Structure 1
Amino acid sequence: MPADNKPMRVILADDHPIFLIGLKVVIEQGHRAQVIAEAMAPDELLEKLREHPCDLLITDFMMPVEDQNDGLRLLERVRREHPTLPIIVVTMLNNAGLFRSMLALDIQGLLSKASMANELPAAIESVSRGKPFIADSVQQSLREAADYGSDTLVALQDLSPRELEVIRLFATGISVGAIAAQLNRSKQTVSAQKVSAMRKLGLANDAALFIYLQEHGLV
């Protein structure tokens, strides 16, 4: 992420020109981020990502072009080529299975186009601080599909005090290294305790962990 006094460099992708304009206005209105490149198709997005170093990708999930309309395939390719790039996905879809698949690709932000004007600035701010942002509507869809259901309530009791301590601190946006320094443990130990806690809770990634902690009042 850039220094605090510099706007985040954003690449923006959407296949609808009017919506692309609207997204750019929302992104730049708070001077927290600046759009440095835009794309309207998958191949163009991949080209822009190679040409322009950036701090964040904000992309529509579906950008159909000829035979290529698989949003997950595009996200998988972006993730392979840019494994550490923060990604926020905006979508009109409301499908818990797709949401879960996107989160499994380590997507940092996931929100609906319907509430984009209200939620996108908060998503950018959250991701800039290293915390995932999952829109309320997405969380509701996941809850209704029982993706993060009652089974994890029992598992919470199985966490050791140190595992619980680590994931509580992680949920506040503190990095694993900072947690290690605060608790006077090695970074490897803290990382292992976080991974162990997530495995016990049945959570696949940091976004799923954040949703779980938020739902159960641990954030």
Structure 2
Amino acid sequence: MATEVQPLRIVLADDHPIFLIGLKVVIEQGNHAWVVAQASAPHELLQHLKTEPCDLLVTDFMMPVEDQNDGLRLLERIRREYPTLPIIVVTMLNHAGLFRAMLALGIQGLLSKSSVASELPTAIDSIRHCKTFVADSVKRTLLEAGDFGSNTLVAPQDLSPRELEVLRLLAAGHSVGAIALQISRSKQTVSAQKISAMRKLGLSNDAALFIYLQEHGLA
């Protein structure tokens, strides 16, 4: 007997009312997901997160309010206050530096508003399976910025078992600190194994690492 898929409870945030409606339709159309709250400003989003139990946040990167339009700072606050909450970011921006910064915060999904109808269902399914989703358009931007290339020095199977274990756990969305607790190693040791693996693979930053893990079926 097949196991029934539990619907994901999603908090949705975007400051454009029409786009917010569109996102809700995409999310609730055959995704085993439902929107439990909607926000059009950062303060509304933070209030909903405080009062509405949810399994996933889908949010626009920038929701200007008065003089505050720092999307990265908002994401940092959410990640700090809700460290285990999966987050999918949708954005009209196309900036490799911002993409790197968001991925470094442990964002589980990153996609462009131009492709949200086709890619958001896939991103939500990836979150359900504890995997990171990076849209093709984001990958292209990072590729063009020189953040990821074909200069891999070794294949994944040539990494040490411990390095590969750390990369698999990173791909599942765990932080270095969480991995250290899970496998009973110090944060310094886990961090060193991550850096060693990236050096062997010819990867220069976390964004390149996440893309590499996806491309090689490790995420």
* Bin for the TM-score computed over the shorter chain: 0.7 to 0.9
1:198 is matched with 194
Q: Take 1:203 and 1:24, find their aligned partners in 2: how far apart are those partners?
A: 37
What's the counterpart of residue 90 of structure 2? 90
Aligned counterparts of 1:39 and 1:135: Cα–Cα separation in 2: 24
Report the AA paired with residue 165 of structure 2. Answer: V
One-letter amino acid of the counterpart of residue 16, structure 1: H
Q: 1:68 maps to what in 2?
A: 68
TM-score (norm 1): 0.80
TM-score for the superposition, normalised by structure 2:
0.80
Q: Which residue number corresponds to residue 143 of structure 2?
A: 143
**Residue 188 to residue 122, structure 1, CA distance change in 2 (3 Å):** same
Distance 1:7 1:218 in 2: 26
CA contact (8 A) 1:57 1:88 kept: yes
Aligned to 1:188: 184
Instruction: List structure 1 segments (4+ residues) > 6 angstroms apart after TM superposition.
Output: 191-194
**Change over 3 Å in CA distance of 1:4–1:95 after alignment to 2:** farther
Question: Which one is further off, 7-16 or 155-164?
Answer: 155-164
In 2, Cα distance between the equivalents of 1:167 and 1:112? 29
Identify if the C-alpha distance between structure 1 residues 208 and 163 changes in structure 2 by more than 3 Å, giving closer, same or farther: farther
SS at match of 2:146: coil
Tell me if the contact between 1:42 and 1:74 (Cα under 8 Å) persists in the aligned partners. yes
* Aligned match of 1:27: 27
| CA apart distance, 1:159 | 5.6
Deviation at 1:130, TM superposition (A): 0.5
- Find the counterpart in structure 1 of residue 179 from structure 2: none
Alpha-carbon distance, 1:146 to partner: 1.4
- Mapped partners of 2:51, 2:183: distance in 1: 34
Identity score, percent:
57
Deviations 1:152-177 (CA, angstroms, capped at 9, x unpaired):
x23668964414653686598699xx
Cα pair 2:156 2:164 within 8 Å, conserved: no
CA-CA distance at 1:214 after TM superposition? 3.5
- Unaligned 5+ runs, structure 1: 176-185
Deviation at 1:6, TM superposition (A): 2.0
Matched, 1:6 2:6: yes
What secondary structure is seen at the aligned counterpart in 2 of 1:147?
Answer: coil
1:187 to partner: Cα distance: 2.9
Q: Residues 12 and 59 of structure 1 are in contact (CA less than 8 Å); yes or no, is this contact kept in structure 2?
A: yes
Structure 2 residue ranges without an equivalent (≥5): 175-181
Pair 203,83 (structure 1): closer, same or farther in 2 beyond 3 Å: farther
Tell me the secondary structure at the aligned position of residue 89 of structure 2.
Answer: strand
Please give the per-residue CA displacement for 1:63-122, whole angstroms capped at 9, x wherever unaligned: 001011010011011111111100000001100000001111110000000000000000
Deviation, structure 1 residue 196: 4.4
